[in-house]
Structure 1
Amino acid sequence: MTTLFIADLHLSADRPDITDCFLRFMAEETANIDALYVLGDLFEMWIGDDDNSPFHQQIKRAFKQLTDSGTPCYFIHGNRDFLVGKQFSRETGVTLLDEHTVVDLYGTPTLILHGDTLCTQDESYQKYRKKVHNRFVQWLFLRLPLSRRLKIGAKMRQSSSSTNQQKDAMIMDVDPNTVDQVLIEYGVTHMIHGHTHRPNVHHIEVNNQPATRTVLGDWYDHGSVLVVTSTESRLETRQFQPQ
C-alpha cells in the first residue's frame, strides 16, 4: 500500500491551475492509499473556519469525499493556515495533528512537521510566529468581523512577501543544528517537512547514525507529492493542465 504527503499548495481562488491539479490528484490518486498527510500551507491564507466561500467549500468537499470513503487524512498547520480549526476538521473528516508528530511509516518512526520551526536563523519570523500562535491573540482575531479579517490577512500576506524578498535565502532555510536537535529530541532518524519550497532528500548523520530529511516541494509551477511505500520513498511531480 501507499501513503502520500503534500504541502505548500497555497491554494487560492487566484490560482485555478493549482486548484485543478489538486482536485485531479484527490480524485485520481487517493482511492486506494493508506493515508494522506497534508503538512501545512494547504491554503495561501486561512482567516477562520467561518469563511465559507464557494472556493473553500469546493476544497472541503474534496477532503470529505476522501474521508467518507474510509481513507484517513491528516493535517499539520503551516504558517499560512495555522487558524484551521475544529470546524474545518468536523466538516472534512480531516484529523488535525500536533505541529511535531511522530508517525509509523511501514515500521519506520518518522517525524512530520511543516518545517517553519526549523528555520531558527530567521529570528524576525520566529518572533512573529510566537506572537500569532498565542492562543489569546488568535481568540481576539477570530472575533473580528470576517470582512475585517480578510483585509488584515491580505495585508499580512503582502507584507510577508515583501519582507521575504529582502532576506538572505539561507536565513529562510532550516538550521542544520536545529534539525539535529529535533531529531534527537524525538528519538528518530527520519523527518519529512515542507515550508522551504526546496524539494530534496538529505542524507545526514545524527549522533553517529545515518538519518534522512525529506523536503516536500511547493505547487507553484507543478504539483509535488511524496509517495511512500513499505519498500521505497520518492518525490514526484504532477503537471498542470493548460487553462
Structure 2
Amino acid sequence: MATLFIADLHLQTEEPAITAGFLRFLAGEARRADALYILGDLFEAWIGDDDPNPLHQQIAHAIKALVDSGVPCYFIHGNRDFLLGKRFARESGMTLLPEEQRLELYGRPLLILHGDTLCIDDAGYQAFRAKVHTPWIQKVFLALPLFIRQKIAARMRADSKAANSHKSMEIMDVNPQAVVDVMEKYHVQWLIHGHTHRPDVHTLTANGEPAYRVVLGAWHTEGSMVKVTAEDVELLRFPF
C-alpha cells in the first residue's frame, strides 16, 4: 500500500480539465491508497464555506465518496484556500491539519506543509500572509456579503499577480536555511511541500545527516503526486 500527497490543483470553474482529472484520480489511484493528503491550494480561491459555487459541492461529494470507501483524506491550508473551514471539511469528510504536520509512515518520519511559510525572502508576501491570517480580520471578512467578498478576492488575486511579475524567481522560492530549520525542529530527514510549482527532489543536510525535500508540482496540464511506500518516496507525474 501507499500514502499519496498532492497540492496546488487550483480548482476553478474556468479549468474543467483539471477538475475532471482530479475526479478521475479520486475514483482511481486514490481508492487504492492508505490515505490521501492535500497540501493546500486545492482551490484557486476560497471566500467562505457559504459560497454556493457548484464546483465546491461537486468536489466535496467526490472527496466524501473517497473517505466513505475507507481512504481517509487530510488537508493543510494553502495560501489560496486558507479560509476553507469546518463546514466544508465536514461535508467532504476531510480532516483539517495544522500548517506543519509531522508524520510517521512505514517507519519513515517526515514533515508536510504547504510551503509558503518557507519563502521568507519574499518579505512583502510574508507581511500580507501575517495580515490575512489575523483571526479578527478573517472574522470581519467572512461576515461581509458574498458579493463583496467576491470583489475583494478578485482584486487581491489581480494585485498578487501584478506583484509577482516584478519579483525574481529566487525571492519566490523557499529559503534554504528555513528548510533546514524546520526539518531540524521536527527531527525529520524528509520534507514534502507544494506552493512553488517547481516539482523536484532536492538533497540537503539536516540534523547532521542526508535529507530530502520533495516539491509537488501544480496541476496545470498534468497531475503531480508523491507516493510514499515502505520502500520508497516517489515524485510522479500522470496525465489527467
Check whether TM > 0.5.
Answer: yes
CA distance in 2, matches of 1:158, 1:42: 19
Aligned to 2:107: 107
Contact map agreement 1:119 1:172 (CA 8 A) in 2: yes
Aligned to 1:156: 156
CA distance in 2, matches of 1:73, 1:16: 22
The AA in structure 2 aligned to 1:106 is Y
Contact map agreement 2:187 2:207 (CA 8 A) in 1: no
Aligned to 1:3: 3
CA distance in 2, matches of 1:39, 1:207: 24
Q: CA deviation at 1:12?
A: 0.2
Point out 4+ residue stretches in structure 1 off by more than 2 angstroms.
none
Aligned to 1:74: 74
5 Å matches for 1:25-44? 25-44=25-44
CA distance in 1, matches of 2:229, 2:185: 26
The AA in structure 1 aligned to 2:210 is P
Contact map agreement 1:21 1:238 (CA 8 A) in 2: no
Contact map agreement 1:223 1:238 (CA 8 A) in 2: yes
Structural RMSD (CA):
0.9
The AA in structure 2 aligned to 1:228 is V
The AA in structure 2 aligned to 1:143 is A
Aligned to 2:214: 214
Please give the secondary structure, in 2, of the residue aligned with 1:227.
Answer: strand
Aligned to 1:131: 131
CA distance in 1, matches of 2:201, 2:160: 27
Q: CA deviation at 1:146?
A: 0.9
Aligned to 1:170: 170
Aligned to 1:18: 18
The AA in structure 2 aligned to 1:165 is S
The percent identity for this pair of structures is 57
Q: CA deviation at 1:124?
A: 0.4
CA distance in 1, matches of 2:124, 2:144: 26
Aligned to 2:229: 229
Contact map agreement 2:76 2:114 (CA 8 A) in 1: yes
Aligned to 2:142: 142
CA distance in 2, matches of 1:174, 1:17: 29
- In the TM superposition, what whole-angstrom CA distance separates every residue of 1:18-63 from its partner, at most 9, and x where no partner exists? 1111111111112121000000000000010111211111111111
5 Å matches for 1:34-73? 34-73=34-73
Q: CA deviation at 1:185?
A: 1.2
CA distance in 1, matches of 2:216, 2:185: 22
TM-score (norm 1): 0.97
The AA in structure 2 aligned to 1:139 is K
Please give the secondary structure, in 2, of the residue aligned with 1:224.
Answer: strand
Matched, 1:191 2:194: no
Aligned to 1:98: 98
CA distance in 2, matches of 1:178, 1:31: 35
TM-score (norm 2): 0.98
- In the TM superposition, what whole-angstrom CA distance separates every residue of 1:60-99 from its partner, at most 9, and x where no partner exists? 1111101111210000000000001110111111000000
CA distance in 2, matches of 1:46, 1:214: 26
The AA in structure 1 aligned to 2:20 is D
CA distance in 1, matches of 2:34, 2:101: 17
Please give the secondary structure, in 2, of the residue aligned with 1:30.
Answer: helix
Contact map agreement 1:10 1:44 (CA 8 A) in 2: yes
Q: CA deviation at 1:151?
A: 1.1
Q: CA deviation at 1:152?
A: 0.8
